[in-house]
Amino acid sequence: MKERNTTIDFLRGLAVLLMILIHATAYFLGDPTVYAVWDYTHFAVPLFVFCSGYIFFAKDSITTLSVSYVVKGLKRLVIPYYLFLIPFFILVFIKNPTSFNIKQMTEKILLSGGRDLSWLVILFIYFLFLIPVIHFMYRQKKWLFYILTGTAFVSTVLLLISIPPVPFRYVMWLPWTFFLIFTLLFTNHKENRYFFIGTILLSVMTFFITRDFLQSQGKTLVLTENKYPPNLYYLSYGIFFTTVMYWVHRLVSKNKLYMTYLQKPFDFLSAHSYSLFFIHFLFVKIFVDYGFHKIIGPWWFFVVLLFLSAAVQKGILLIRAGK
C-alpha cells in the first residue's frame, strides 16, 4: 500500500474544516466577527484544487485520457452526488411538498443551476480532463503550455473587469486552469526556498493590487463574490494561503506529538473529504429548515455539523466493514 502524503492530508482535511465552518457561519453574517471569519476562510476550494492537482502532478508518468480513466473518474465524482440527492429530495419534500417540483429535480440531476453544491462537482469533472492535459503539455508540448498559461492568466485579469454574460459554470474552467498551473509549478519547485518566498511576495502584492483595482471600480471585495468564476483577486488569496499552509504543516510535522495524535483527524477528514462534503450539506439543510442553527449559534453549529458529519461517515465505514 502506497504511503499517504501527510501534508496533502493536512491540507485537504483543513479544507473540509473550513468548508464546514463557512457553511455554518453563513447564516450569522450580521455579526461582524462571524462575517470576517466567513469571508476570510474562503480559501477552502483552492486547497481542494491544490491537493487534487498536487497528487497527479507528482507522478512520474503522464496519464493518458483513456476511456477507462474517464469512466472511472466520472463514477468517483458523480455516483456520490446522486446518492446524496436521494436523502436531499426526501428532506425537501418533507419540509415543503409544494416546493418539490420537476424543475428543481431536473436542475439537480443535470448538475445545472446557480451556486448550489453541484457547481463543485462540475469543476472537478473539468479537472478530470484538464489536469492530464496540463501535465502532458508541460512535459511534452511546452509551447502549448505557455499559450495556455498566458490565456488562463489573462482570463483572471479580465474577470476583474467584467463577467461574461453566460452561466459561470461554462467559463470557470479557464481561470481555475491558472491555479492548476500554479499547483504544477509548486509541485516541481516545492523544495526551492526562492520559489516559496517569491510565491508569497508575488501573491500578496497581486492580492492588494487587485483589491485596490476592485475598490476603485466600486466592485465588491467579498471573496466569495469574486469566486464565480474566480478572478485574480480571489486566486491570489488562495495561492497565498495554500503556500503558507503547506509550509506550516512542513514545520509542525517535525513535532512527533503532532504527528502521533493531531495528524490522525486530518487524515480521516482527508480520506473521506468528498463524502463529507455531501453529508454535512444534509445536516445544514435539516438545521436551517427547522431553525435549530439559531438556537445554538454559529460556533456550536460548526462543532455540531463537524461531529455529526464525521459520525455518519464513521457509521458508513463500519457498515461497509460488516461490524
Single pTM value for the model? 0.94
Which stretches of the chain are assigned E, i.e. beta strand?
none
Model confidence over 156-204: pLDDT tens digits?
A: 999 999 999 999 999 999 999 999 999 999 999 999 999 999 999 999 9
Those residues whose C-beta lies under 8 Å from the C-beta of residue 193, and which sit 6 or more positions away, are none
pLDDT for res 2: 58
Residue 16: which of 288, 305, 315 has the closest Cα? 305
pLDDT for res 106: 86
Which DSSP string corresponds to 116-155?
Answer: STHHHHHHHHHHHHHHHHHHHHHHH-HHHHHHHHHHHHHH
Model confidence over 210-248: pLDDT tens digits?
A: 999 999 999 999 999 999 999 999 999 999 999 999 999
Q: How far apart are CA 75 and CA 87, in angstroms?
A: 19
Q: How far apart are CA 176 and CA 153, in angstroms?
A: 10
pLDDT for res 286: 97
- Identify the segments of the chain with pLDDT beneath 70: 1-2, 323
Q: How far apart are CA 236 and CA 203, in angstroms?
A: 5
What's the mean per-residue pLDDT of the chain?
A: 93
pLDDT for res 4: 81
Q: How far apart are CA 83 and CA 92, in angstroms?
A: 15
Tell me how far CA of residue 62 lies from CA of 52, 79, 137, 139, 303, in angstroms.
15, 26, 10, 8, 41
Residue 273: which of 89, 17, 3, 7 has the closest Cα? 17
Tell me how far CA of residue 25 lies from CA of 34, 157, 164, in angstroms.
6, 30, 30
Burial of 12 (C-beta count, 10 Å sphere; 0-12/13-18/19+): buried
Amino acid, single-letter form, for residue 140 = Q
Alpha-carbon torsion (272, 24, 21, 310), positive or negative:
negative
